[in-house]
Amino acid sequence: MELILDRVTKQFRNKIAVDRISLRLHPGVYGLLGANGAGKTTLLRLICGILRCDSGTVSLDGLDVSTEEYRAGLGYLPQDFGYYPEFTGMDFLVYMATLKGLARSQAGRRAAELLELVSLGDMGRKKIKTYSGGMKQRLGIAQALLNRPRLLILDEPTAGLDPKERARFRNLIGEAGKEGIVILSTHIVSDIEQIADTVLMMKDGRLIFQGEWQEGQGDLEKFYLEQFEDEGLYQKMNESGKESGGNL
Ligand SMILES: Nc1ncnc2c1ncn2[C@@H]1O[C@H](COP(=O)(O)OP(=O)(O)OP(=O)(O)O)[C@@H](O)[C@H]1O
């Protein structure tokens, strides 16, 4: 399985949010790290086909992002996921499953299975308005898994999770990453260290680091912060009319 991004670019008015990003991803967990405004959400939306690239292509095993077949293999948890507070967790999952085209009988079975998987088995009959932030987040992950996606995209999935829930979440994602491609965005470095096999680091719409982060390489947080110290330096160099270099 291979997800290929080829010079993917997206511009909003005069802001280039994603700037010629090329990637080849295989099964595993990828942590997309970047400061606020680096372009993470935009990149994830392009990979989900919610936004169209201005130029460049996204494809999974040769299927273009615009095709039904591509979408059928996709699971997505957006950053600002809208829940229905009056629905129970179970009803919500069944509803989402039918939207995704599962037959009703199948939807009920799958929903129950996923509630167990995300440790919400005993909360399935309770209304979502009674859930904690972490429970809602787990329900969001469950809905993203309904169609057994080959490509799972999670935008800031650990936001609002306490340490215990983070550990639970790590296990869940680790399982998903064994069979498919999981991309999760965060600006919390320790999330990446604990969950992801491969780090993707974005700054100003560009990919500035891609690869495994191993213990011998030192402190990922320090490296990450250094990129932003460099930014100031490069800006100064540009302002004085010199070419900036060194950035990938
Ligand atoms: N719909 C839009 N219209 C105009 N500008 C946008 C739009 N979406 C994103 N941008 C801009 O594109 C840039 C990248 O935004 P994006 O949301 O992708 O960053 P991010 O890394 O996900 O940040 P955050 O962690 O805050 O979500 C920002 O400067 C943002 O203001």
Pocket test for ligand 1, best of 19, 41, 158 (most atoms within 8 A of CB): 41
Give the domain ranges of the chain: 1-73+150-217, 83-148
pTM to 2 decimal places: 0.87
CATH code 3.30.410.40 for 1-73+150-217:
no
Instruction: Please state the atom number of ligand 1 nearest to the C-alpha of residue 45.
Output: 18
Which residue's CA is the nearest one to ligand 1's atom 30?
37
**CB-ligand 1 contact for 157 (6 Å cutoff):** no
Whole-angstrom distance, CA of residue 181 vs CA of residue 172: 13
- 16 C-alpha vs ligand 1 centroid, how far in Å? 10
**Structure token digits, residue 35:** 């400061």
| Residues in Cβ contact with 101 at an 8 Å cutoff, skipping those fewer than 6 apart | 147
Which residue's CA is the nearest one to ligand 1's atom 16?
39
Decide: 198 and 29 in contact? Cβ < 8 Å: yes
pLDDT digits (tens), the chain, 248 positions: 999 999 999 999 999 999 999 999 999 999 999 988 999 999 999 999 999 999 999 999 999 999 999 999 999 999 888 889 999 999 999 999 998 888 888 999 999 999 998 889 999 999 999 998 888 988 999 999 999 999 999 999 887 777 887 887 888 887 777 889 999 998 888 878 878 889 999 999 999 999 887 766 777 888 888 876 655 544 444 444 433 333 33
